[in-house]
Structure formats: structure tokens, C-alpha cells
């Protein structure tokens, strides 16, 4: 994002066609009603599951004394991880000056906002007494990484929301007069949210400065959020968690999950909204290269994380690794590593697989594997506490997620999809003014 904005694009005729393309899907359509209806009904079932848990307590889950962090915490780590991509794309790549990220940046921010917003709810789902949530703030200890986590997740959500909203303001102003086909309340919402934007250089100057501050601030915040999430595990002595590389290991894993989520949403937007003019094969090709890069870095951390303890085979670590490599979790472990990491890396090295549809399929595998990878990180460690497990019922020693638990987890994913759907459907999903500005630059260059 340049700090100086040339507002000539407002007078370029191409702005009309760009705005028309991007605003065409905005509004309530039949497809939207069907899709939201489906999500709404599914969510109701999940809310009923949560009602059961709220009523009876965590006993309705598979969680017991020894394995007290299960699907919910794995899900939380997954949500935090996926939300980090907002920082990677709009901030890191944007600040470097890569032009191709401009149409994707808002998609990345939508993912960031939706996943960060639900991450907090996921934690509440893991609480047997959710009405005690205020106690975290009333009696929380500043020494506990849980307090740090609550702090950074909140901060990250606010910054991500601002990074979604700020560049949207000029778009809302551009859209105002071109929304004839949409309901009145939506037009009024645009009117309010566009905060009297009328494209003055002064407004652009203020906006660019504000965006720039947020783009820089989100980098340490995003690093903090996932590093702290990794510390929730790494500050213990337990095999599989007691690792000094857990911070970067989580961070790089987050970029893999997030990039895959962005590709999936890009694909939906491109196909359903017929925006292939703006989300071109080039964008998918570049996202493919990005995904390979972050996956290779993540693979590197995986090798470190498993090879080093695997070489030493300290007693407790050996039991844990044995469980993962050839034991109870071997099928899940190797599926995740091969289908979600190694094979995608190999495939994405070829140009053919970086085309939109193959990229979409690969990203689905990567994202699903990313969820199970969090499960692999969270659960198996607790199978082997350092204290002897004596004379306890069998169900305390093994963890099997229940249907209620799975439904609640599914509910959080549905909620994130609902937020994404609303943001994608009611607001321009591709930054109109930034695309128009770039187009204007291209035009003036060709004229010269």
C-alpha cells in the first residue's frame, strides 16, 4: 500500500465496470438464503448439543481427569492458527510491496476476523462452568500464559477487524451509489460505515497512515498470539509439549493452515461470484508458491520436532513417539504428515497443480490435515501422565470424543463459516478502489 494515493482512478471509466463486477453478487440472493438456511439449521443442532453440555457439564464429553484437553483445545489451536494468515498476506507480503496480494488481502482478513472471533468462543466451549468466565479477569494471574493468550487473542481480533474495516471505507463510499439492487437496510449500513468518506486527499492520507500503523502492529501481535498459544503447551515438562521450538513450529504451521483456508475461500469467490477476472490463475499460482514455501518451512520444523527427541529416545518421549509413529495414533499421524504436508509440497512444485481447481482440492486436504495435526499435538501427550494411573475406570485412560463434543466443535466451524458468508456476501470481497487504482496506473503507463 502506497502512502500517497492518486485519486485519478475515480475519474477513470473502468472504475464503473470494476465496481459493477464486484458488487454484482452483493445482496440477498436465493443461493444465499438456501446456504444460510442450511448453516442455520445445522447450527441449531449444534446449539442443542451445547445446551446438553451446559446443563450436564463436561461429563457429556470424552474428557476426564487424565485427558482433560481434547477436541476443544485442538480446535482452539486450529482456529488461532488459521486466523494468522491475515497477518502474513496483507501485512508481511503487502508491506514488502507485492502487488498480487491486493485482491486477496481482504479475503485473508475475512478469514482472520472470522477465525479469531470464534477462537474465544471455542475456549468457552471447553469450560464446564462457562458462567465463571469473568473469573479469568477477576482472579487471573498475570504469570499464567492463559492470561497472555486471552490478552493477545482479543488484541489480534481488534486489529484484524480494523485491518478489514479501514481499507473497506473507500469501497463503501464507492458502492453507495451503485447498490440499487440491494435491500435498503444494507444501503443504510454502507452509509453509516463509510463515515462520510468522500475521497479527499486528506482522508486518504489519514486512512493510509492508520492502515500502515495497524499493518505493522499486527506482526508482533500475530507472532505473540500463536507463540503464546504454543506456550500453553511448551511451558510444561510433558513429552511432546516440552519443546523449545514450539513457538516457531506453531507459527509456521499456522501459515500453512491459513494459506489453505485463503485458497479455499478464493476458489469459492472466484467460481460462485464469477470474479475470475480479479482472482486470476496467476493469483492461484502465486498462492500455490506461497503454500509450498510455508509448507516446506513447516516440514523443516516438523523434522526438528520429531527427529531430535526421536534420536535421544528419553523414556517418556519414547513412549509418546512410539504411540505416534507405530502405535495408537500412527494412522492419523502419517495421514496428516503425508496427505497434509509432504504430498501437497511435491504436487504444488508442478505448475499444473497450482491451477485453481487442483489448488482447491489440495488446500482442502491441507486444511483438514491441519485440524487433525492439532489433535495429534494436543491429545496423545496426555495419554501418559508422569503420575501412575491406578484403579481408574478404563474410560478415564483413553479419550474418545463424544457426539455432543463433536457437534459443538462442528458448531464453532459453522459459526466461522457464517461470519465469512456474511462478510463475503454483504460487502465487496475484493478491494474496488485498490484494483481500480492499479488499473489506472497501468492505463496511464500504456498511454505514455
| Binding region for other proteins (CB under 8 A) | 140-143, 148, 151, 155, 158-159, 162, 166, 169, 195-198, 200, 202-203, 206-207, 209-210, 213-214, 217, 220-221, 224, 326-327, 388, 390-391
| SS3 state of residue 393 | coil
Sign of CA dihedral 219, 222, 228, 230: negative
> Is the Cβ of residue 223 or residue 353 nearer to other proteins in the bound state?
223
> Is the Cβ of residue 183 or residue 220 nearer to other proteins in the bound state?
220
> Is the Cβ of residue 45 or residue 326 nearer to other proteins in the bound state?
326
Residue 419 CB, shortest distance to other proteins, in Å, is 21
Q: Which three cell numbers stand for residue 423?
A: 462478510
Residue 387 CB, shortest distance to other proteins, in Å, is 11
Residue 83 CB, shortest distance to other proteins, in Å, is 17
Task: Please count the residues of the chain.
Answer: 448
Distance of alpha carbon 321 from alpha carbon 284, whole angstroms? 37
Identify whether the C-beta of residue 429 lies closer than 8 Å to the C-beta of residue 114. no
Residue 68 CB, shortest distance to other proteins, in Å, is 20
> Is the Cβ of residue 315 or residue 446 nearer to other proteins in the bound state?
315
φ, ψ for residue 93, nearest 5 deg: -70, -35
Residue 31 CB, shortest distance to other proteins, in Å, is 33
Cα–chain-centroid distance for residue 21?
Answer: 27
> Is the Cβ of residue 251 or residue 370 nearer to other proteins in the bound state?
251
Q: What is the DSSP string of 402-442?
A: -HHHHHHHHHHHHHHHHHHHHHHHHS-SS-HHHHHHHHHHH
| SS3 state of residue 341 | helix
Cβ-based neighbours of 92, under 8 Å, separated by 6 or more: 219
> Is the Cβ of residue 198 or residue 446 nearer to other proteins in the bound state?
198
> Is the Cβ of residue 37 or residue 220 nearer to other proteins in the bound state?
220
Q: Which long-range contacts (CB under 8 A, 24 or more apart) does 293-300 make?
A: 294/88, 294/252, 294/255, 294/256, 294/259, 295/256, 295/341, 295/344, 295/345, 295/348, 295/366, 296/345, 297/252, 297/255, 298/249, 298/252, 298/253, 298/255, 298/256, 298/341, 299/341, 299/342, 299/345, 300/252
Residue 340 CB, shortest distance to other proteins, in Å, is 25
> Is the Cβ of residue 160 or residue 337 nearer to other proteins in the bound state?
160
Residue 185 CB, shortest distance to other proteins, in Å, is 21
Residue 228 CB, shortest distance to other proteins, in Å, is 11
Helices and strands counted in the chain (H then E): 20, 0
Residue 173 CB, shortest distance to other proteins, in Å, is 9
> Is the Cβ of residue 127 or residue 207 nearer to other proteins in the bound state?
207
Distance of alpha carbon 363 from alpha carbon 345, whole angstroms? 11
Residue 109 CB, shortest distance to other proteins, in Å, is 15
> Is the Cβ of residue 284 or residue 329 nearer to other proteins in the bound state?
329
**163: DSSP letter:** H
Amino acid at each position: 500500500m502506497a502512502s500517497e494515493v492518486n485519486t485519478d482512478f475515480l475519474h477513470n471509466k473502468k472504475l464503473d465496470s470494476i465496481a459493477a463486477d464486484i458488487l454484482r453478487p452483493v445482496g440477498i440472493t436465493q443461493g444465499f438464503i438456501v446456504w444460510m438456511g442450511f448453516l442455520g439449521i445445522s447450527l441449531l443442532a449444534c446449539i442443542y448439543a451445547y445446551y446438553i453440555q451446559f446443563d450436564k457439564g463436561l461429563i457429556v464429553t470424552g474428557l476426564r481427569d487424565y485427558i482433560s484437553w481434547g477436541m476443544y483445545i485442538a480446535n482452539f489451536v486450529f482456529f488461532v492458527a488459521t486466523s494468522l494468515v491475515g497477518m502474513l498476506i496483507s501485512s508481511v507480503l503487502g508491506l514488502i510491496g507485492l502487488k498480487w496480494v491486493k485482491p486477496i488481502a481482504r479475503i485473508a482478513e475475512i478469514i482472520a476476523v472470522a477465525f479469531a472471533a470464534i477462537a474465544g468462543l471455542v475456549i468457552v466451549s471447553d469450560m464446564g462452568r462457562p458462567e465463571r468466565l469473568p473469573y479469568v479477569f477477576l482472579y487471573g494471574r498475570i504469570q499464567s500464559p492463559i492470561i497472555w493468550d486471552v490478552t493477545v487473542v482479543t488484541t489480534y481480533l481488534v486489529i484484524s477487524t480494523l485491518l478489514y474495516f479501514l481499507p473497506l471505507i473507500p469501497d463503501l463510499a464507492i458502492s453507495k451509489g451503485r447498490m440499487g439492487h440491494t435491500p435498503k437496510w444494507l444501503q443504510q449500513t454502507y452509509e453509516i460505515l463509510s463515515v462520510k468518506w468522500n475521497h479527499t486527499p486528506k482522508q486518504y492520507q489519514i486512512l493510509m497512515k492508520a492502515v500502515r500503523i495497524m499493518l505493522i502492529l499486527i506482526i508482533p501481535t500475530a507472532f505473540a498470539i500463536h507463540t503464546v498459544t504454543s506456550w500453553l503447551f511448551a511451558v510444561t515438562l510433558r513429552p511432546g509439549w516440552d519443546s523449545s521450538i514450539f513457538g516457531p513450529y506453531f507459527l509456521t504451521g499456522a501459515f500453512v493452515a491459513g494459506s489453505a483456508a485463503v485458497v479455499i475461500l478464493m476458489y469459492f469467490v472466484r467460481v460462485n461470484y464469477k470474479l475470475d477476472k480479479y482472482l486470476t490463475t496467476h493469483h492461484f499460482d502465486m498462492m500455490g508458491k506461497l503454500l509450498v514455501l510455508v509448507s516446506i518451512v513447516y516440514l523443516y520444523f516438523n523434522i526438528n520436532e520429531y527427529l531430535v527427541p526421536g534420536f535421544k529416545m528419553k523414556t517418556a518421549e519414547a513412549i509418546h513417539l512410539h504411540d505416534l509413529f507405530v502405535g495408537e495414533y500412527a494412522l492419523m499421524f502419517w495421514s496428516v504428515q503425508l496427505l497434509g504436508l509432504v504430498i501437497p509440497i511435491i504436487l504444488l512444485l508442478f505448475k499444473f497443480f497450482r491451477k485453481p481447481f487442483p489448488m482447491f482440492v489440495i488446500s482442502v486436504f491441507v486444511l483438514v490435515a491441519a485440524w487433525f495435526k492439532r489433535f495429534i499435538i494436543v491429545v496423545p501427550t496426555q495419554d501418559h501422565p508422569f503420575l501412575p494411573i491406578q484403579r481408574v475406570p478404563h474410560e478415564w485412560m483413553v479419550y474418545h470424543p463424544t457426539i455432543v463434543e463433536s457437534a459443538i466443535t462442528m458448531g464453532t466451524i459453522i459459526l466461522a463459516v457464517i461470519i465469512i458468508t456474511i462478510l463475503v456476501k454483504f460487502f465487496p470481497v475484493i478491494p474496488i478502489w485498490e484494483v481500480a487504482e492499479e488499473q489506472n496506473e497501468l492505463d496511464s503507463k500504456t498511454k505514455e
